[in-house]
Amino acid sequence: MKTLDRIIGTYHFLFDRVPSGVTEVPPKPRKRNPWLKDGKPIVTRVRTGNNLRQSINQALEALGPLNAAISRGDKVMVKPNFNSDDPPPASTDPLFLRAVVEMLLEVGARVTIGESSGGVWRPTSRVFRKLQLDELARTLGVRLIAFDDKDSEWVKININGDHLRSVTVPKTAYEADRLIYLPCLKTHRLARYSGSLKLTFGFVNPGERRAFHVRFREEKLAEVNLCWQPDLIILDGRKAFISGGPNQGQIVEPKIILASGDLVAIDAEAVKVLLGYKANNRLLSDPWQLTQITTALKYKLGSGQDNYILKTL
């Protein structure tokens, strides 16, 4: 990162503030997971080939038809991981993002891509420019939103967690009919790992994020998901950090894609992949003991051990 960029980013990390007069709203109603077999949530794990679009399609077909969750005309918010402008697995591969958006457009969805980068990389619009995401969005004919832009509207959701009473999030995400998450596969120096549960942190107003780093970090990351839960998660595991993270680390190539409608089950399977490599990281040998996952299970945000079905292709 260049010196000027770091200075600007540090300023945002230290001085971004939550706007005043934010409307308070309840959490979004919990929806039935459409991706079930015999009443249990499904996680699909696909070995990727040379054709990215085909690999993603295989992962989704093993879940069920896309229109089980996405209908023509739905306002769909796609949440990638552009915490920084570093290459995958630090951030979402634009080609992966493009393939998913194209599939959504083909079923008639009205797609918006939204993100807010990490403190020292903000403003997010700068990350977008460096990754040429503005051009990608124009080519696809979809809306691209940097949540931290000055004209963004926010709502405060009262979640009443043990460590978070409320969370301020983008109005556009709250009003979306469907939410689709595109997490990366990686360890994280502070949060142990970064998956679908942590991806929701990118919705949090930048002015509230500093407090997450003081105490109960991993518990808070899980509690943010009390705001809402995604309809579909597609995790790009073609590359992964098995140490370090979020923006730099030791890279391996598992060459897989995971998909599910269950936040907890897909994270547990993702961590199992990371544990398959020897590395110096902060993961626990049992993913079900990780605080993000135990906290999420406490709030019934997903399925516990042996309560979901893994389909491997």
pLDDT per position as a tens digit, 205-246: 999 998 887 889 999 999 999 999 999 999 999 999 999 999
Average pLDDT, integer, range 111-138: 95
Q: Dump pLDDT digits (tens) for 162-177.
A: 999 999 999 999 999 9
In tens, the pLDDT along 13-54 reads: 666 778 888 999 999 999 999 999 999 999 999 999 999 999
pLDDT of residue 13: 64
**Average confidence score pLDDT of the chain:** 94
Question: Please, what is the angle between helix 263-275 and helix 291-298, to 10°?
Answer: 160
Hey, is 84 helix, strand or coil? Answer: coil
> Which residue segments constitute the domains of the chain, with CATH numbers given?
3-11+25-312 (3.40.50)
123-133 mean pLDDT: 96
Q: What is the pLDDT of residue 17?
A: 78
The pLDDT assigned to 20 comes to: 84
Q: With CA atoms as reference, report the closest residue to 258 among 247, 267, 246.
A: 267
With vertex at residue 151, the alpha carbon angle to CA 117 and CA 157, rounded to the nearest 5 degrees, is 70
Q: Is the pLDDT of residue 294 over 80?
A: yes
Report the pLDDT averaged over residues 175-195: 97
Helices and strands (DSSP H and E) totals, the chain: 11, 15
Which residue in 239, 237, 272 sits closest to 256, CA to CA?
237
**Average pLDDT for 265-283:** 97
- Give the percent of the chain with pLDDT over 70: 95
pLDDT for the residue 151: 87
Helix, strand, coil percentages in the chain from 3-state DSSP, rounded to 5: 35, 25, 40
Q: What is the CA radius of gyration of the chain?
A: 18
Q: What gap in Å lies between CA 53 and CA 89, rounded to an integer?
A: 18
